[in-house]
Structure formats: structure tokens, C-alpha cells
Amino acid sequence: MAQTKKLVLLCFFVLMLLSCDRSNPLAPQNQQPSGLSFSEEKLDLGSEEYNYRQIITVNTEKDENTLFAYHLTFMNPSEEPELLSNEEGWLLFDDEIWTSQSQLSAEFQSVEGRLQNIITAVKVKVKSPDGSIQILASAFKSTRLIGTLIDAPFENGSSIGLGAEFLLREQIGDIYVDGMYVDHFMYRVNILDEDLQPIQTGEWYSSIDLPDLRKVSLNAGTTPALVVNEPDTYTQFQCYVVSRSGVEQDQPSSVYFKSLYGFKPRAILYEDALVGYGQHHYGMFKRDIPPAFYDQICTDGDKLLRKLWVVSGNLEAIHSDDFKLHLRWGYLGQYGYCDVTNEFHVTENPFYSELNWVLDDASSENYGSHITAFWLRLDWNPFPVMEQFFNPTVETDSSGQQWLRVPNFNDASRHCILQNLSSGNHMVELMVEDSQGVKSDPISRNISLKPMTEPAQRDGILIVDNTPFSYIDAPEAIIDMFYDDVLPLDWGMITEYAMDENQFSTVSPSVLMNYRAVMIHQDNTLSYHDSSDLREFADALDIYLDHQGSVLISGTFDLASDISDLSNCSPMAFDFVRNRMGIIDPEALGVLGSSVYQNPFFINAIGQSGISDIPLNLTNPFSSFVEITQGLPQVTYFDPSLNLDWLYGFGCKAVDSTIYPPTQEQYDLYSSKYVGYTHSFEGGNIAVFGFPLSYMEQDAVANAMGDIISEMLGEKISQRRN
């Protein structure tokens, strides 16, 4: 029974012709069924209101006797416009369902900028003059209501591997209506010729059958499959969105590319993110480690996690039952940055931005793939399953080895914290798998958790050579021989650990723990922070001193600034300066001079409490500046207010000296200061010299070293060097 409706149905007698630009490779053909086409218009009414016009056109060969019947489906059935229709829903035209009009148009007015209803589907009967009836049916296909954005890790025309991942997003247009969000996407794979025209059209598939309806992963084994492109051909991935209301995208979105064979990813274990924390492994300041890591590894008070030490190319830490190791893994192309010229650069530092490119292992070419999974092993067995891993499985590789395969689901799939590791050597192995199904070559990293060496098991003295070479004031051969000769042999062999700034920035506590005493010298008087400063040694020294270690430090004017800088790094670093070094006030340190001719007044370390003096070597100094000035300016001195166990007072040049003499005021000031002391805290002993020992008379230094080390170790020496 016909009903009276509110909406006016407009019938157009002129056939509307729709154009199709087949030269556009992003939309070479639409997916509309033969015989139906759709168009739409937005008619501005002002004040952000508008009319939305939907037009349905039947494109068939017809003569004047061809008739049409229309059945419309609306998004909101409860708000259907009042149209004349029969009981089956076919529109009535003068009480008949048949009309000669091949085009319909309907308008909907917005309310507060939104539409309450639209046509979502149409069915048309086409009656030919011979009485035969053809039925055409389709969802309404829109170019304005909804579209698709394809996120692919390559540009149009790129050469990629036989695997790609396409992330799909619905794109809402400027006509606002509820129900336009995605229900699913339809997609297919076509082959294009060199002019980007289709030569092979694939079958449409629905993403509703995929684990993630917004992500389509294709490779040589999927349906549809990617195949190696013949010369002068391209592969096209084409898709369109189907909304929850049933409206479909009119013109498909697409990308095109050339699929090639032979690409392979490269696995990376990020050493910048390989950090640990434990009773015998910690740091005093953050060292450019992102704050998120501190949330992942709970630290103890002011103690912080720290990178592992590098010793002879291997990573080391001292083992403890509470040790935690943080690992992060990935692939070449995952991280990078954009420079001021807007050029992108790939880096293996995981603290940069994510690029999520996948670069070929051999050529470093971006081949448009995606890393689908990580294969992990620990100590020659499948990696332990972590709670945050998504659907991990144990898999066997072609050589029969078992791995834990972790799908690359999110960031939690790319890092973990290992606990309860035993003392000894450990090996982490990694492969990455891309969307081709191709796995990288395996890589590995050896990590050694050294057992704690107790004081009774230690032997010998370690010399840490932290003096940058200089022909003028730090000739390496002379300084090396000097320290080798002045240290006593009573406690074992003398071993030198040379700090090469191209290889080492510090020394591992696992190395220090093997020795009864450690001598660190930075005797280059011309360098200002030209070598590793005290901050780089503080972590290792704190761990060593915490286990009854004995440390001697020989320095120059740099020492004062190093101590001041360290005290400002963090609360724990300040505690190191105060407790381990005995400096309760870093402001109570001073510098005699920072250049070769500024105040060259230091000539003698005056022994305290019966200790013999150590004169500056003025007879045959290797430094031409000392020979010219007859004194040394680059000295750190300590104020008596520090109330330390003083070893040496400041021996100042006399005011009547003929070469660079001090004033009486300068003499009185510097003569009241100290240049060497010892300090003990909870079993750890330290001796600090604010002057470079290698500039002093060798015999005097040798005698002093024997006495001082003997006192620090609590044992009298049994022999002296000749």
C-alpha cells in the first residue's frame, strides 16, 4: 500500500555520463558493476549546513521502450524518507514501479553539519522491450564520504622484495555522517605494463578474513601472491573500503611497485641499549640512557643501571644474584633521523626515531619489506619466553637448531629483561624474519658475567695509563718506564692497562678486581680534559673500593675540575666524592695554573708525619717547560679545611728565586696548601696526588710508593727496588 513520504524524489531525464581517467596508476579502473554508476554533490546552504545529493545512474543500451524499477536501502531505516513504494519496497511512479527514467537523485539536509540518513544500497530492474528483466544491485559507491589511505614502506615505482605489508586506514571526507567507519577492505593484486595500464587483473579478497582487517601482508606464498616482475612490468596493490553502513569507496586506492628476488634483512643487537644493574654493576649517572629504561629495571636508591663494560671486544659485568640484563634487538633500517636538509639517515642507535625501513644486508637498499618476527636463542637453547611476548613459538631452523620465534607485534616484542643469570659466559643469538619469509644471517653477542674476586685472591698492581701522549710533556716511553720502575714488586707483577681513546673510555671493575692495588695516572700537563676524566672511572672505582680495593691517582690541574664536575653529576656521584675520595667540599680545591708559564711555583711535595719529600725533577726533566721555568704550574692543591690524612704539603718556590718567583702573598697562600692525601672508607683506600708523579724525582717516588701502598694494604713491604 502506498504511503505519503516527506522527501521529494527528483527524477532526472538526462543520462549523466561519468568519466574514468585510466592514465592514473593509483586508480586505473573502478570496481563498479557494469550498468550502474554513482555520483554525489555537496550543496552549501551557509552556516555550515548543506544538502547532500546522491545520484544513481543506470548505464545500459536502451531504447525508448526500456523501463526501470528502483529499490533503495537507507542507512537508518527508522528515518527513511517518505517515498511512495509498494509492499516489496519498489518505488512507485504514478502508481507503477516502472519508469523510463534511467537516473534518480535524492537530497538529504544536514543538521548541525551532520547527516542523519543517506542511501547505502540500490537495486534496479531493467526491463527490455522484449520483456526480459535484468537485475542490477550495488552498495552506493562514494568518492566523498569515505576513502582509503595505504601506508606502505616504499614509494610508487620502487623495487621491493617478494614480501610487503600494507597498512590500511579509512579516510573520512567532508560530508559527515555516522556509520562511515570501516567494516572491512577489499583488495587485489594486478599486473601493470610499463605505461601503468592493467595487463592482468586479480580477484578481490576481503580483509575481514585476516587477523587484522587493517593490515594486508603479501609474499610469494600468500593468496594473492607476489611474483617476480617481468621486465617493464609492475605489480599493483589495489583496495577499497566498505563502511559499516554498507557504503563503499568508489575509486580504489592503490600503490604500484616492482617485485624482485634476492633481498635479505640484517639483524642487530643494540649495544647502546644493552645495560645491566646489580649489586656489583651500577652507574652513578644516566650516561644518555633514556628514562624509560629506569622504569624497566628497578634500581636501588641513587644507584642507576649502566652499560656493560667492553673488555677486549667482549661485554662484561660482575655477577651477582640480583643482576638484571636489558636487551634490545632489531634490524637495519629500524632507527634513524632527519638532518637539517630533510635527508634521512639510518643509524644503529635505538634512541633515535623509528623509521621502520628494512634495508638489504648487502646493499643497504630499502626493499619495502616488514620484519614479521624475531628468532632468539640464549646459551645455545631457545630464548626463554617472556610474559610480554605475543604468541611465541619454538621453531627449528634448516640446520636443526631450535629458536624462540617472537612475532613482531609491538615494542614489547623487541626487548626484555633477563634475570637469574648464572656466573660465567652467555651468548645471545638473533635472526630476523621479513615479510618475504626470508631470515637474516644469525648474529651473536658474548656476555661475560665475572665472579667477584675477593681481596685474598688478588695479586699484583695494575697501572691504568690514562695519560695522552705528547712529545713535549708526556712522552709515552718515558712515563711508562717511570711507573714500571717506581711501583714495588712485593705484591705481585706490575700490569699496564693503556687507555686508548679510540678503543676505551674507562676500565672495567672486573679487571680492577684482580689486583691488590690500582695506580691511575693522567700526567699530561698540557691537556685539559683531553682524556677520560674521573667521571668515566668513578663507577668502576666505586665498585672496586666497595670491596676493599686500594687506588692511587696521579693528576694535574685537571683533577680539580674532574672532582668538581663529578660532584655535580648526581647524588650518588657526590657521595663518591665525599665518601670514597674524602672531599666534603669540592670548592676547597684549587688550581695553581693551567698553562706552562702561569704560576710555575710548585717544586716540592713536602712529606708529612715523617714521610720523605718528593722533589720536582729539575736536574733532567723531560719537559722543556719545566726546564725553562724551573717549576710546575699545573697542580691541584687542597685546602687544610678538608681535614684529610695529609701526605704532602705544597712546596713552593722561594720569593727570591731568579726564575719566575712568586710574590710573598702567593708564597704564603700556596705554602699553606696540600697536594697529596690518603682516605679510607668502609675498607676502601685511596691516595690522591694533585701533581703528576712522573715529573718528580724517580727514587723519591719509588720510596714513597712502597711506603704508601704498604700502609694502604696493611702490610709492610719486604723488599725495595734498586
Close Cβ partners of 461 (under 8 Å, ≥ 6 residues apart)? 487, 488, 491, 492, 493, 494, 495, 515, 516, 517, 518, 519, 709
CB of 134 closer than 8 Å to CB of 35: yes
Question: What is the amino acid identity at position 511?
Answer: V
Whether residue 358 is predicted with pLDDT greater than 60 in this model: the reply is: yes
- Selection from 556, 557, 667, 652 nearest residue 605 by Cα: 652
How confident is the model over 38-64, as a mean pLDDT?
91
Distance CA(266)–CA(268), nearest Å, equals: 7
Provide the whole-model pTM: 0.82
End-to-end CA distance of the chain: 125
Q: Which of the four pLDDT bands, split at 50, 70 and 90, describes residue 178?
A: confident
DSSP state of 157: T
Kindly report which listed range (53-67, 383-397, 598-612) carries the lowest average pLDDT score: 53-67
Give the pLDDT confidence score for residue 441 in this predicted structure.
98
How confident is the model over 669-693, as a mean pLDDT?
97
Distance CA(287)–CA(101), nearest Å, equals: 77
Distance CA(470)–CA(461), nearest Å, equals: 25
Peptide bond into 153 cis (omega under 30): no
pLDDT higher at 273 or 527: 273
Percent of residues, the chain, with pLDDT higher than 70: 92
Give the pLDDT confidence score for residue 23 in this predicted structure.
35
Residue 11: CB atoms within 10 Å: 14
φ, ψ at 359 (rounded to 5°): -100, 145
pLDDT tens profile 460-518:
999 999 988 888 888 999 999 999 999 999 999 999 988 865 455 688 999 999 999 99
Q: Which three cell numbers stand for residue 647?
A: 701526605
Whether residue 21 is predicted with pLDDT greater than 90 in this model: the reply is: no
Angle between helices 534-545 and 558-567 (to 10 degrees): 70
DSSP state of 95: T
- Selection from 52, 15, 22 nearest residue 37 by Cα: 15
How confident is the model over 415-436, as a mean pLDDT?
97
Give the pLDDT confidence score for residue 64 in this predicted structure.
82
How confident is the model over 122-144, as a mean pLDDT?
94
Percent of residues, the chain, with pLDDT higher than 90: 79
Kindly report which listed range (27-31, 138-142, 580-584, 705-709) carries the lowest average pLDDT score: 27-31
Query: Alpha helix locations (H) across 403-555?
Result: 476-486, 509-512, 534-545
pLDDT higher at 4 or 623: 623
Best-predicted range by mean pLDDT among 5-14, 73-82, 176-185, 650-659? Answer: 650-659
Q: Which three cell numbers stand for residue 207?
A: 580483509
How confident is the model over 328-333, as a mean pLDDT?
98
Whether residue 79 is predicted with pLDDT greater than 60 in this model: the reply is: yes
Question: What is the amino acid identity at position 285?
Answer: F
Whether residue 569 is predicted with pLDDT greater than 90 in this model: the reply is: no
Whether residue 25 is predicted with pLDDT greater than 60 in this model: the reply is: no
DSSP state of 413: G
Distance CA(619)–CA(229), nearest Å, equals: 82
Mean pLDDT of the chain: 90
- Selection from 681, 439, 641 nearest residue 547 by Cα: 681
Contacts by 354-360 with C-beta closer than 8 Å and gap 24+?
356/153, 357/153, 357/333, 358/153, 358/265, 358/331, 358/332, 358/333, 358/434, 359/265, 359/266, 359/331, 359/332, 359/333, 360/263, 360/264, 360/265, 360/266
Q: Which of the four pLDDT bands, split at 50, 70 and 90, describes residue 298?
A: confident
CB of 146 closer than 8 Å to CB of 172: yes
Whether residue 311 is predicted with pLDDT greater than 70 in this model: the reply is: yes
Residues belonging to the chain:
722
Q: Which three cell numbers stand for residue 401?
A: 637448531
Best-predicted range by mean pLDDT among 308-312, 443-447, 523-527? Answer: 443-447
- Selection from 103, 91, 83 nearest residue 18 by Cα: 103
The answer as to CATH 3.30.70.1520 being correct for domain 146-259 is no
Whether residue 566 is predicted with pLDDT greater than 70 in this model: the reply is: yes
What per-residue string of b and e applies to 21-50 under the rule 16 or more CB within 10 Å gives b? eeeebbbbebbbeebbbbbbeeeeeeeeeb
Distance CA(370)–CA(359), nearest Å, equals: 10
Give the pLDDT confidence score for residue 472 in this predicted structure.
83
Q: Do 146-259 and 455-713 fold alike per CATH?
A: no
Angle at CA 308, nearest 5°, toward 302 and 313? 160
Distance CA(372)–CA(361), nearest Å, equals: 16
Distance CA(667)–CA(662), nearest Å, equals: 6
Residue 598: CB atoms within 10 Å: 15
Q: Which secondary structure element, helix H or strand E, spans residue 46, and what is its range? A: strand 36-46
Kindly report which listed range (16-20, 276-280, 453-457) carries the lowest average pLDDT score: 16-20
At the topology level, CATH places domain 455-713 in Rossmann fold (3.40.50)
Q: Which of the four pLDDT bands, split at 50, 70 and 90, describes residue 531?
A: low
Distance CA(676)–CA(612), nearest Å, equals: 13
Q: Which residue has the cell 550543496?
A: 43
The domain locations on the chain are 10-142, 146-259, 272-450, 455-713
pLDDT higher at 720 or 685: 685
Residue 684: CB atoms within 10 Å: 21
CB of 122 closer than 8 Å to CB of 116: no
Distances (CA, A) of 427 to 331, 340, 720: 19, 40, 46
Close Cβ partners of 482 (under 8 Å, ≥ 6 residues apart)? 693, 694, 698, 701
DSSP states of 520-533: EE---TT-SS-S--
Q: Which three cell numbers stand for residue 138?
A: 550495488
Distances (CA, A) of 556 to 156, 218, 367, 595: 62, 65, 55, 11
Distance CA(434)–CA(497), nearest Å, equals: 44
CB of 332 closer than 8 Å to CB of 364: yes
Distances (CA, A) of 402 to 376, 394, 426, 556, 627: 9, 7, 17, 56, 69
Q: Which of the four pLDDT bands, split at 50, 70 and 90, describes residue 9?
A: very low
Give the pLDDT confidence score for residue 198 in this predicted structure.
96
DSSP states of 225-248: ---PPPTT-EEEEEEEEEETTS-E
